[in-house]
Every structure is written in C-alpha cells, then in structure tokens.
Structure 1
Amino acid sequence: MSERSLDLDDFSDLIERPHGGLRQEAEERRALTGLPPRALGRLEDVGEWLGSAQARVPVRPVARPRLVVFAGDHGVAELGVSTRQPGTAAELVRELLDGTSPAGILARQFEVPVRVVDMALDCDPGTLPAEVTRHRVRRSSGRLDTEDALTPEEAEEAFRTGMVLADEEADAGTDLVVLGDLSVGGTTAAATLIAALCGTDASVVTGRGGGGIDDLTWMRKCAAVRDGLRRARPVLGDQLQLLAAVGGADLTAMTGFLLQSAVRHTPVVLDGVVSAACALVGQRVAFRAPDWWLAGQAGSEPAQAKALDRLAADPLLEQGVELGGGTGALLALPLVRAAAALAAELPVREGPVAAPGGPDDGPDAGRPGGPAALDAT
C-alpha cells in the first residue's frame, strides 16, 4: 500500500474510556431512589452507560438522537449472493428517504431525523438529493473475492469522510447516534471482515442475509467469503488496508465514523452485522473505543454473534431483525430513552434507604431476572 498521511494508531491515544468514576456515583444515586438493586434490569446498565458517556450524574435525557445510515453497492453482489439484484441499493435509500421503509417509518414514529450518506451507490448521483451523494467515493466497491474493494486513496478518503461526519454530528449537538447501513452485498463484506478478525472459516460466519437466501445462494455467498478471506488474511495487521481489500467504501466510512464518535464522546447504538463488523475493526484500532458503543439488537446472522462476542457486547434486544437501515437499532431507542429518563428523573430520598428484603420483598426481588427486573430482550 502506498504511503498515506492517516495514522490509525493515533486513535489509541485520542480515545478515552467513558467517565468510569461516575458509574459508582450513578449506582449510589439509584440506591437513594429506594428501588431494590437490579429492579430496572438492563435499564440500569444503559442509564449508567449514558451517564458515563455524558460525564454527568444524573444523566441528561436523550433529546437529540440522529439516525445515520451509510449506503453503498458492492461488486461481490455480481456473484448472486443476495436476493436483491446487484446495484439496487439506491432503491432502498429512496424508500428510507420517502419514509416508506421500516426504518423510515420507525424514525418518523420516534421523531428521529435521518441522515443518509452515499459512499458507493451504483446509480446516477443526480437521481438522489445532493446532500446524500456529496460524499460518494466511487460508484460501487470492487469485487472483494478477486480485487481490492477500494484503492488506498479511496479507502483513506472514505475513512476520513466518516470522521468528518462524526465531527459534524457532535458539533450539531447530536447526543446519541443510531447507526445503520443500506447495501447490496454488504453482509458478505461484513462476514469476510469478521471471519478474518476472529480467525474463523467462511461457513461459520455466512448467514442468510435480510432476504433469507436459498441454499444455492448461500453456497455462492460462502464461496465469496472464502475467497475474500484469502485476500484479507495477509493484511490483517493494517486495518485501513484490510478495509480497502474487502470492506468497501460504506464499511470503511462507518469505521471512521465509529472511531471519531468515540473521540468526540458521542454514544452510538449499533444495528446489525455490518455495524458489528465495523465495530470489530474499530476495536482492533483502539481497544477503548467499544465502550462508547451499545449493541442495539441481535439479528440472526452468525457473523454478528461472533463479532458481538469478541466485542463483549450484550445486545439490548433480540428480535432477529435483518432489514438494515438501522431498523433494529431504532427498535432499541425507546429503551435507551427510557433508561435515560428513569436515571434522570427518579426522585431520590433524603437519609438512609431501607435495605431490600422486607416483608413485601419476594425471594427473587432485586435479582437480575427476578420479577422486579425488566427483561429488555
């Protein structure tokens, strides 16, 4: 790879952990509400995560979330690895922009503004709004099984674009990003990245995708991941080169966005297998970065399960959503908002709080999974 000016090692110095000391303060404040420990289940953890990200107790309610969706087509789709035709991701983008896709409907229902970023759609840029296409790096990423998805220059441009967009969101006051993707062939790229980083075979990570592909399509997808792995393994030591080899412009930009969001202390809710793959690459770049990200939901893709296990990330929901566009992460947003509201607004009592275990407390009260705990899955 040619010499470049972007040094990903800088992220290790720039990214700090969220304010860990505030977790204890948040626990002490929760105790003063009189609720038994773990009475709110996972919501307590989410509230503490937000408080540490905001560096304040009590936490501020989530007031300015934003759905940010990276879009692109992948050359590997030419092999027939998806139920969708190659080069048709722009149709998914139009549905989201029109508010007719599941993510568009949920974003409208939850009053979340939407930002779509075309990184490599295979369409005439004039058919989409200028604010969507202005960051496009190329028209479709290359076929990862036989060639690099991006040139070194394109990879750096895409990564820097993700960083710039993270800065723009932070500067605009976005207090929580819901991250999504729209692509055709993107889950094949994600599975290849995850298999390479986890040291697993193609068959272990290859799923059926959002369209529920048949056996023959699955075999073609598995072969593409296998061939991509042969090209990915020699460049595992250089994460930007790895993204250029098999990631494509949308995944490269998303990785830059995730890392720069951590630099800017912006919490992010991850969606499906694509955002999980980018998070896994980000973890390789800066091990503290995943502390700024929350796994919104677990889909059915085996690659996502592998990545979340490696990230030690426990998804907030398990709904098996595979639609992309941030749909699954949007479903988790009401729980995140509820956690913030409860942590911010539950009144605290003066003086000592009675310990749990009184006559009204059952044997399971206050324990994770007991009757008092909210099962967020």
Structure 2
Amino acid sequence: MTSRPAIAPLDRTDEAAYRALVDGKAKPLGALGRIEDLAVRLALIAGRPNPSYERALLLVFAGDHGLTESGVSAYPSAVTTAMVATLLAGRASANAFARAVGAEVKVVDAGVAADLAPHPLLIDAKVRKGTRNAALGPAMTAQEVESALARGAAVARRAQDDGFDILALGEMGIGNSASAALLLHRLGPAPLAESIGAGAGHDAEGMARKRAVLETAAARTPVTDPLEVLAQFGGLEIAMIAGAILGAAAARLPVLVDGFIVSAAALVAIRLDPACADYCIFAHRSAERGHEVMLAALGAEPLLDLSLRLGEGTGALLALPLVRAAAGLLTEVASLDDVLAGRL
C-alpha cells in the first residue's frame, strides 16, 4: 500500500479563545447562528484568528465509468468529453458561478475515455481511459486506486503551492452517480435502494435498469474495506477527489465539498483517515436521492439547501461567499467593547 500524507487533527487548544472572539463582536450573542460556528472552525483550520480565503480554486475532476456500458445513465460517456470541453471554454454553469464568486477553475483529467488536447486550464492526471464495468468485475486495480489517490493529493498540494487558500471540489463523469451509490451502500453503510437516484435523469424504465445493474454489481463481492470498495465500485475521478481531500487536509487547506458525488469521495477519504473530516466543509444538500443518507453517515450539516443536483462544483461555489463572510466576521467586525467605547 502506498503511504498517504499524514493528517493532523485540528488543534483545539485555542477554540475557547476563538469562540470568545466571535461572541465579543458587535452583535447579540449567537445572532449569526451557524456562521459563527463556521468562523471558529476556519480559525482552527488556519491556526490563527485572522484567516483569509480570497484565492479560491475550483477543481473539476473528470472521469468515465465502465458501468455506462450496462445502461446506468441516460447519457453516453461521450457527454463527459463534451462537458470537459465546455468547462475549458468557460461556458459551463460552474464557470458562470465561479466568475460570480471570484474563483478560478481548472479541470483535472482523472480518467476521461478520450485523448484530451492540452489546455492551460487542464491538468493531465489520467490514470487510464475510464474504469472497467463494475457490474462484471472490479472497476479498478489496487494499483490504479493508489495512483489516483496519490495524484489527487499532488493536485491539492500544487494548488497550495500556487497560492490558493481554499479548494472547491467538483466532478464530471457520466455514470458517476451509480458509482457513488455503490460507495454509499457499502461504506455508509446504507441500503442500496436508498442510495440510488436519478443521476443526470432517468424515466421509470431507466431507473429500473439502473437498480438492476447496481444490484448485480453489489452482489459480486461483500467487501467493506474502503480501498477495496473503491477498487470494486469507484470511479477514477472519485478516487482522485478523495486523494485531493486527503492532500488538502494534510496541508491544512479547507475544502468545499459539493454534492452527492464529491460527498462519496469525502466518505472514502474520511473512512481512510477520519482526521480529514475537520477540513471538509459540506456546501449543500443535493436533491439526488441518497445524499441525505450520505450526509447523515458523515455526521455533516451542509451550509445550503437549494435542490441542486448538477455537480461540477456548482454548489461548492455558491457556498464560497459564506466561508468568506465567516472569515470576515473574525477580521472585519468591531468588538462590542470597541463600539461602546467609541473606538471605531
């Protein structure tokens, strides 16, 4: 097994002091609700009372899934390549949202089933051209899983080296809601029927086919070890996101976790190293069936609930202003003592 980066749990020595700092601001006690909790958490992650998250990077990890050969998606794998091109052209929903909140965007080729031309915004980290069909056998080898995890961690470290202080994580991959459902089923754990949703869109016939394929896949093996589950049922982009979460946590870099698919990667990462949960900020509650179950399994309370189910990191981007606002509470808001004394 390849060694993974060591992650230090949050040092909570100064937690009471950070809480007192927030409580002492010019506002009624607790009046900003969960934003106050987020502010304290950000200070703990940064290890100082004045964190800044001005330079944000959305990483969209892309990969294809052999499960699509069995009809688990309403769309063919070619859509993954087309949407990567759309993201690189700056014309996807994630690009528009990133511009709205002042974040940069890069696409990571984790395992797209096509040769992608070089592009300034494309990170080539491809392990292989798509996974194998998990309904028939393991989606990845153990070596491919470790390679994806290591490359994801390297992408996160490179982002920090480039000066980014917070990461938003997104994905693009036809068939990846099927893979995520299997990961939730086995690592939640959760009943398979409660883990399967419509993904990019299915009619009743499509949903019946998706359920049958995933039941066949789940019946192949009873594995529950996180690495083995990832190899059997995961996606290259999901494995690489898990690696990015582990790498970011080791670098004390907060990550905004998007919806169902990225949460599945977070589930893998947290099962591999529970300490990384401290660095995961869950952005929103997806409308995809299974996400509520996944959040409960993770003990996570997301910041937003907007009935999103697009992916691409769109929900993570929309939560970014809340993170910046929470940091601003620490650094820009006067204390009640200063207000009363006229020290403004």
TM bucket, shorter chain: over 0.9
2:321 aligned with 1:331, yes or no? no
Shift of 1:232: 5.0
Change (3 A) 1:131 1:352: closer
2:166 aligned with 1:176, yes or no? yes
What per-residue deviation string (whole Å, max 9, x for no partner) do you get for residues 176-211 of structure 1?
A: 1111000100111011000011233321110111x3
Partner in structure 1 of residue 253 of structure 2: 266
Partner in structure 2 of residue 100 of structure 1: 91
* Structure 1 segments unaligned to the other structure (5+ residues): 354-377
Counterpart-to-counterpart distance in 2, 1:130 and 1:232: 41
Partner in structure 2 of residue 187 of structure 1: 177
Counterpart-to-counterpart distance in 1, 2:228 and 2:146: 9
Q: Helix, strand or coil: the match of 1:177?
A: strand
Partner in structure 2 of residue 37 of structure 1: 29
Matches within 5 A, 1:47-196: 47-57=39-49, 59-126=50-117, 129=119, 132=122, 134-196=124-186
* Structure 2 segments unaligned to the other structure (5+ residues): none
Native 8 Å contact 2:52 2:165 kept in 1 = no
Q: Give the AA of the match of 2:207.
A: W
Change (3 A) 1:82 1:91: same
Change (3 A) 1:351 1:272: closer
Counterpart-to-counterpart distance in 1, 2:258 and 2:334: 33
Q: Give the AA of the match of 1:136.
A: K
Shift of 1:133: 5.5
Aligned length, in residue pairs: 341
2:190 aligned with 1:203, yes or no? no
Q: What is the TM-score when the length of structure 2 is the normalising length?
A: 0.93
Counterpart-to-counterpart distance in 2, 1:216 and 1:35: 54
Partner in structure 2 of residue 227 of structure 1: 216
Partner in structure 2 of residue 362 of structure 1: none
Q: Give the AA of the match of 1:93.
A: V
Moved more, 249-258 or 342-351: 342-351
Shift of 1:131: 6.0
Counterpart-to-counterpart distance in 2, 1:26 and 1:148: 47
Native 8 Å contact 2:63 2:112 kept in 1 = yes
Counterpart-to-counterpart distance in 1, 2:88 and 2:37: 33
Q: Give the AA of the match of 2:214.
A: V
Counterpart-to-counterpart distance in 1, 2:206 and 2:286: 19
Q: Give the AA of the match of 1:49.
A: R
Native 8 Å contact 1:195 1:303 kept in 2 = no
Partner in structure 2 of residue 374 of structure 1: none
Q: Give the AA of the match of 2:179.
A: A
Counterpart-to-counterpart distance in 2, 1:117 and 1:207: 25
Shift of 1:34: 3.4
Counterpart-to-counterpart distance in 2, 1:289 and 1:241: 20
Counterpart-to-counterpart distance in 2, 1:118 and 1:258: 17
Counterpart-to-counterpart distance in 2, 1:39 and 1:315: 19
Shift of 1:251: 1.0
Shift of 1:282: 1.3
Counterpart-to-counterpart distance in 2, 1:345 and 1:18: 24
Partner in structure 2 of residue 26 of structure 1: 18
Q: Helix, strand or coil: the match of 2:274?
A: coil
Shift of 1:130: 7.1
Native 8 Å contact 1:142 1:148 kept in 2 = yes
Counterpart-to-counterpart distance in 2, 1:34 and 1:331: 27
Native 8 Å contact 1:258 1:279 kept in 2 = yes
Counterpart-to-counterpart distance in 1, 2:124 and 2:51: 33
Counterpart-to-counterpart distance in 2, 1:44 and 1:223: 45
Percent identity (aligned):
31
Partner in structure 2 of residue 283 of structure 1: 270
Native 8 Å contact 1:202 1:223 kept in 2 = no
Shift of 1:241: 2.6
Matches within 5 A, 1:212-361: 212-231=201-220, 233-234=222-223, 236-237=224-225, 239-350=226-337
Change (3 A) 1:287 1:258: same
Q: Give the AA of the match of 1:268.
A: V
Shift of 1:352: 11
Native 8 Å contact 1:196 1:232 kept in 2 = no
Native 8 Å contact 1:232 1:246 kept in 2 = no
Counterpart-to-counterpart distance in 2, 1:228 and 1:255: 22
Q: Give the AA of the match of 1:111.
A: G
Change (3 A) 1:125 1:321: same
Counterpart-to-counterpart distance in 2, 1:133 and 1:292: 23
Q: Give the AA of the match of 1:220.
A: R
Shift of 1:347: 1.0
Q: What is the TM-score when the length of structure 1 is the normalising length?
A: 0.85
